[in-house]
Amino acid sequence: MSKRRPSGDGMVRKREDGRWEGRIVVGHKENGDPIFRYIYASTQKELTAKLRQNINAYQGVDLTEESKMTLSEWLDRWLEQMGSVLRPSTLDHYRNDLEHHIKPYLGQKRLTQITAADLRKLYDTLKQRGRLRPRPGQSRGLSTTTVHGVHTTLHHALKSAVDQRLLPYNPADHVEPPKVAHKTMRILNDEQMDVFLSAVEQDPIWRDFFYTELTTGLRLGEICGLMWSDFDERKGTLHIRRTLHREKGGRLVVGDPKTCAGARTIVLPSSTAELLRLRKKTSYSSWIFHNPLHPEAPMNPAAAYRQLKKILEESNLPDIRFHDLRHTFATHALANGVDAKTLSGILGHTKASFTVDTYTHTTSDMHRKAAEIVGGFLTDYLGEEMAPWQSAENAETAAST
């Protein structure tokens, strides 16, 4: 159906209570009858301004009759629609946000009446007293990270409502979510990487696993989900086609990569490709890194995480997360000349800008090094004693002062 321009229908009147009332057409029912939005104001002049404002807001919009549902009703429907698209863990996360942080505050409000002001008030409330059942000694307010996550969930849900002609626009677009304080990224430096690899050198299970991780930067679920069918021996490439994750209840599940960009092919360093070729010759499992006790099953991500912690503790290395090995790979790759766009593809990031923002500490160092290289080149070309804007005469004067 082509979108229609909302318009007033000539119905402007002064009510018995003294207020002025007008209405505009914002959509149509299945039988073609118009759906009205009623506007109220204290004066006729104010009503005229509000009508004009609403006509502009609903420009190009043709809502359906279902727009009358409450936010709670829509969120239930949206979650049901997402059931076949999202991972179970993501679905559980969304469900928790809806049931504990959104519905109790805004659930009974009509979907089309949700405003940016409502969302700002919600976020403030959550930061102050959003924890419904705090434990002894625990703050009643939610962290900015949690509230930011609520905003993300709500933004997705309301965007879907816009796409399905239930809302004229997404009010979450007009709200600045709480700023999240990013934790300082922790990586292994060159010396620490040598210590780490020396610690696993005599263990064929974990040596190959962690060497592959440090030379590819794969996510934990991705490296545990690798199969020999993903490895092209001749080309020395890996196809990232799946990831492992745990469902609620502890069951290990094989799923698709995190994003569309997550499904990718990466070219391996020659040393890593050779390591995998040798490993394949003695392998009796379809998984590249299999469960040591059950070769028919993949490596359990939890086991890999525990092994990492054990190695770090025994080697007196910083207590980093597994994901920090991915950061270690990315940081060293950038520092050694790999451009951000190429690295973004290797890591499976959707946008190169995300890679740059994530590793801004490294790119800043690269900018400084580039400036030094250019400065050194110009100094060699122009001569150390003379800056490019100085004439020989001025240089002599400057040197004598």
pLDDT of residue 383: 53
Q: Is the per-residue pLDDT at 160 higher than 90? A: yes
For the domain 69-174, what is the CATH code?
1.10.150.130
State how far the Cα of 285 lies from the Cα of 231, in Å rounded to an integer.
14
Tokens representing 173 are 């677009």
Question: How confident is residue 127, by pLDDT bands cut at 50, 70 and 90?
Answer: very high
Tokens representing 22 are 């007008």
State how far the Cα of 264 lies from the Cα of 215, in Å rounded to an integer.
16
Average pLDDT over residues 304-311: 96
Domain boundaries, the chain: 8-63, 69-174, 190-350, 359-401
Tokens representing 114 are 């949700």
In this prediction the pTM is: 0.66
Partners of 298 in the β-ladder: 290
Which has the closest alpha carbon to 288: 215, 232, 326? 232
State how far the Cα of 307 lies from the Cα of 287, in Å rounded to an integer.
19
Pairing of strands 237-240, 264-267: antiparallel
Pairing of strands 252-255, 264-267: unpaired
Return the DSSP state at 251.
-
User: For residues 146 and 356, which has the higher predicted lDDT (pLDDT)?
Assistant: 146
Q: Which amino acid is at 230?
A: D
CA angle, 220 then 95 then 65, to 5°: 130
Largest CA distance in the chain: 92
Q: Which amino acid is at 49?
A: A
State how far the Cα of 75 lies from the Cα of 103, in Å rounded to an integer.
9
Q: Give every CB contact of residue 230 below 8 A, 6+ residues apart in sequence.
A: 238, 239, 240, 241, 288
Q: Give every CB contact of residue 15 below 8 A, 6+ residues apart in sequence.
A: 21
For the domain 190-350, what is the CATH code?
1.10.443.10
pLDDT digits 0-9 by tens, 353-378: 778 777 766 555 555 655 565 555 55
Question: How confident is residue 146, by pLDDT bands cut at 50, 70 and 90?
Answer: very high
In percent, the amount of the chain with pLDDT more than 90 equals: 48
Question: How confident is residue 379, by pLDDT bands cut at 50, 70 and 90?
Answer: low
